[in-house]
Chain A
Amino acid sequence: MSALLQNLVNQPYKHGFVTEIESDIAPKGLNEEIIRMISAKKNEPDWLLSFRLRAYEKWLSMTEPQWQNVKYPKIDFQDISYYSAPKPKKKLASMDEVDPELLRTFEKLGVPLHERAALAGVAVDVIFDSVSVATTFKEKLAEVGIIFCSISEAVQNYPELVQKYLGSVVPVGDNFYAALNSAVFTDGSFCYIPEGVKCPMDLSTYFRINTEGSGQFERTLIIAENGASVSYLEGCTAPRFDTNQLHAAVVELVALDNAEIKYSTVQNWYAGDEKGIGGIYNFVTKRGLAKGINSRISWTQVETGSAITWKYPSCILRGENSVGEFYSVAVTNNYQQADTGTKMIHIGKNTRSTIVSKGISAGHSNSSYRGLVRIAPTAENARNYSQCDSMLIGDQCGANTFPYIQVHNNTAVVEHEASTSKIGEDQLFYFAQRGIGAEEAVSMIINGFCKEVFQQLPMEFAVEATKLLSFKLEGSVG
């Protein structure tokens, strides 16, 4: 049975190819000069350069976190190139002008941009090795006053907004990787929803890591003004390489009074081969500030890729009656490692949070849920409900749950539930006896297991996620 399981999991990574586009690569290594170079290349204002330098100084004084339940060789931060941009031939006014090679890449990924944008009504801000090359639906969004562009553009066109909010949720010295990101981030997305505006469509960004050995340091900032709401989708895939690629993104969300931000991720980066060689290191800091009264921040993630995932999308519930949600599916296979979860920091009165975490481990992989629920003394009548379920496929993998609960106000109600289940021979035999093969059976069991999370995803994303999971676990059971 484990042999059949193995076969299912051991499908080669479909998206493993390198697009040949001329790249402008910075020399390897990190120092003040490189940071000045990045800032100059991007024609940044002084305040941003000093933001970067402040972060770099913090970073120098920090050490890599060791507490997470993952193992990897030490990263040589001087062996990474911190800037890589496709050489722009000229400014692009429309999709037709996008490098055909790039479009073909998206074709291979199964995300034809035209089609996607047209069919799904999704505005796609394409990130290709750190620089945005195409933005669609901009005019439509502009009609209602929504700003959706790359963060570099935002720095040029809306500097006061960026300056006001950048680093306001994740300070430059928040943690080792956030500091690194703050020092060297090259691009990312910026989204501003003005007062009272409900964003008429889901906003989406496809991330892509392309240049071998170049780290990616995305920076995303989303602001929802009073009474505004937005649903943001992030999807990722990367080509196959043998050298590990570091990815340390920072995402900051700010929701003001009665505002709502829903952030959904489907992550499918290269996870390494069946021996665990190669693959992306995904060390991400994502945090939302529910700043205003009745504000709501909701994280939904489907994590299937990366050699190592280290990520805790969090909510700071400062506004009265604010709500934080975290819905997560993390799949690990082969030698993948994931240490992921959330932090719900209750500060305001009557704040509520929900955590639903589903971990699926197959092969030799290891998956940990790590979650903090903190009820501050000021958080009268705070409520939290946490549910952490793990599913094991085969007998070589592991799953752990590390809940941290800190309650400093005795009116709080905090609930935590956890379960572990296993897809075993008997379950598969039951399906087989009804004529259903192992792959279909696993797909059905997994989708059943993840249902509560998938329900939170926008429709098209849910369909993609379902397919992705089946694909990821193909061959892992039998």
Chain B
Amino acid sequence: MIDQNSKTLLEVRDLHAKVSDVEILKGVNLTVKCGEIHAIMGLNGSGKSTFAKVLAGHPGYQVTAGSVSFDNQDLLSLEPEVRSRNGIFLAFQYPIEIPGVANSQFLRLAYNTNQLSRGKEELDPLEFDDFVREKMQLLEMNVDFLDRSVNEGFSGGEKKRNEILQMALLEPKLAILDETDSGLDIDALRIVASGVNKLTNKDNAIILVTHYQRLLDYIVPDYVHIMESGRIIKTSGKDLAKELEVHGYDWIKADQLAKSTESSI
């Protein structure tokens, strides 16, 4: 939902980042306001997932230039756990398995850590159990998820639902969903998308990182950005994704090429 009066949540300026000496992000610019849904699309290797991880503070990536302000704070100077507590959430493309740690235990620790940092009350195991069960209904998850080890032996779809469950628990200001649609069958996609839709409001924002249009049929973006070689090369409304679906990424490239040729004339 675009509202020119809502406040700016994320401001990315000329962001450059590298991983083991290979520059992946080469000057990303992006502004996200409260209440907005942004989709970032692009081919494999275009830098979409790197961008998501850099925002969350993955230690494997090194920011070499540019700035990111989140909620009027310099995001890049913060440790990843602080970014999380400040309201940045990343739904992982490949959620990690943690053998021996019960999902309920992990979810409660994550929840309570965030509650504490916001000066709110922690929940004891029984209270948390009621609370999390309610949230699980949103994603039509079976309660036996709670007793299983975190993501261990989960199917692809179950892992993705577990990610969105965490989003529901942590109520982030900015949720970055990295390829959340990959590995989901159509029913799971519908459930996950409806869960995400129920979590959106005028005070938070979502960045969807995806290859395909199909997720955007369920979570309708306000803006679609096309990423290519570590830059956002085109930004438009939701129809861009549909055009992309019809014409393919080459069409954008051709379009860009035409433009740059024009401007050089």
> Interface code B55-86, partner A: CB below 8 Å = 1, 0 otherwise?
01111100000000000000000011100110
Interface of A is mostly: helix
Residues of A within 8 A of B218 (CB): none
B96, B99, B109, B170: the one within 8 Å of A430 (CB): B96
In the bound complex, do residue A451 and residue B81 qualify as a contact, i.e. CB atoms below 8 Å apart? no
From A213-221, A374-382, A442-450, give the one contacting chain B.
A442-450
Further 15 A-B residue pairs, CB within 8 A, beyond A433-B89, A434-B110? A425-B60, A429-B56, A429-B58, A429-B60, A432-B57, A432-B79, A432-B84, A433-B56, A433-B80, A433-B81, A435-B114, A435-B170, A436-B109, A448-B100, A448-B101
Given contacts A435-B113, A435-B114, A444-B106, contact A430 B95 (CB under 8 A): yes
**B105 located at the interface, meaning its Cβ lies under 8 Å from any Cβ of chain A in the complex:** yes
Total B residues in contact with A, Cβ cutoff 8 Å: 30
Asked if B98 is at the interface (CB within 8 A of a chain A CB), the reply is: yes
B154 at the interface (CB under 8 A from A): no
B112: nearest chain-A partner, CB-CB = A435
Taking a contact as CB atoms closer than 8 A, the residue among A425, A436, A445, A448 that contacts B81 in the complex is A436
Query: Are A433 and B99 in contact, CB atoms less than 8 angstroms apart?
Result: no
Q: B212 at the A/B interface (Cβ < 8 Å)?
A: no
Would you give 8 A-B contacts (Cβ < 8 Å), ordered by A? Answer: A427-B96, A433-B81, A433-B90, A435-B170, A448-B98, A448-B149, A449-B99, A449-B100
**A383 CB, nearest partner CB in chain B, Å:** 25
Q: With both chains docked as a complex, state the minimum distance between the C-beta of A360 and any C-beta of chain B, in angstroms.
A: 12
The minimal Cβ–Cβ distance linking A388 to chain B, given in whole angstroms, is 15
Q: Return the CB mask of A448-478 against B: 1 if under 8 Å, else 0.
A: 1111000000000000000000000000000
Q: Which residues of A contact B106 (CB under 8 A)?
A: 434, 444
Closest 7 CB pairs of A and B: A448-B100, A448-B101, A434-B110, A432-B80, A435-B84, A430-B96, A435-B113
Closest to B86 in A: A435
CB-CB < 8 A to A434: which residues of B? 84, 106, 110, 113-114, 166, 170
Q: List chain A positions with a Cβ less than 8 A from chain B.
A: 1, 421, 425-427, 429-437, 440, 444-445, 447-451
Q: Is the CB of B101 within 8 A of A429?
A: no
Contact in complex: A440, B109 (CB < 8 Å) = yes
Selected contact of B85 from candidates A435, A444, A449, A450, CB within 8 Å: A435
Asked if residues B105 and A444 are in contact (CB atoms below 8 Å), the reply is yes
Contacting pair B80 A445 (CB below 8 A): no
Q: Which of A1, A435, A447 has the most CB of B within 10 A?
A: A435
Q: Closest residue to B114 on the A side, CB-wise?
A: A435
Question: Which residues on B sit within 8 Å (CB–CB) of A440?
Answer: 109, 113
B117 interface residue (CB < 8 Å to A): yes
CA distance A23 to B125 in the complex (A): 51
Closest to A389 in B: B99
Q: How far is the CB of B105 from chain A (nearest CB, A)?
A: 7
CB distance from A252 to the nearest CB of B (A): 34
Least CB separation from A446: chain B residue: B100
C-alpha gap A297/B263 in the complex (Å): 84
B residues near A431, Cβ cutoff 8 Å? 81
**Minimum C-beta distance from A386 to chain B (A):** 18
A435 in contact with B96 (CB, 8 Å): no
Task: Tell me the bound Cα distance from A434 to B170 in angstroms.
Answer: 8
A440 nearest in chain B by CB position: B109
Contacts of A449 in B (CB 8 A): 99-100
How many angstroms from the CA of A125 to the CA of B117 in the assembled complex?
45
The answer to whether A435 touches B58, judged by C-beta atoms less than 8 angstroms apart, is no
**Across the interface, do B98 and A433 meet the contact criterion of CB distance under 8 Å?**
no
CA distance A270 to B114 in the complex (A): 37
Kindly provide the distance from the CB of A110 to the nearest chain B CB, expressed in whole angstroms.
25
Contacts of B60 in A (CB 8 A): 425, 429
Knowing A1-B59, A444-B105, A444-B106 are in contact, say whether A427-B81 is a contact too (CB < 8 A): no
Contacts of B89 in A (CB 8 A): 433
A430 touches B59 (CB 8 A): no
A7, chain B: closest CB distance, angstroms: 14
> Out of B92, B99, B110, B149, which one reaches A436, CB within 8 Å?
B110
Complex-state Cα separation, A451 to B101, whole angstroms: 9
**Which chain B positions have C-beta within 8 A of A445?**
98, 100-101
Please report the C-alpha to C-alpha distance between residue A426 and residue B56 in the assembled complex, in whole angstroms: 12
- Chain A's closest residue to B109 (CB) is A436
Nearest to A426 among chain B residues (CB) is B96
Chain A residues positioned under 8 Å from B113 (CB to CB): 434-436, 440
Q: How far is the CB of A436 from chain B (nearest CB, A)?
A: 6
State whether B98 touches A427 (Cβ < 8 A): yes
Report yes or no: A451 in contact with B110, Cβ–Cβ below 8 A: no
Query: In the complex, how many angstroms separate the beta carbon of B49 from the nearest chain A beta carbon?
Result: 13
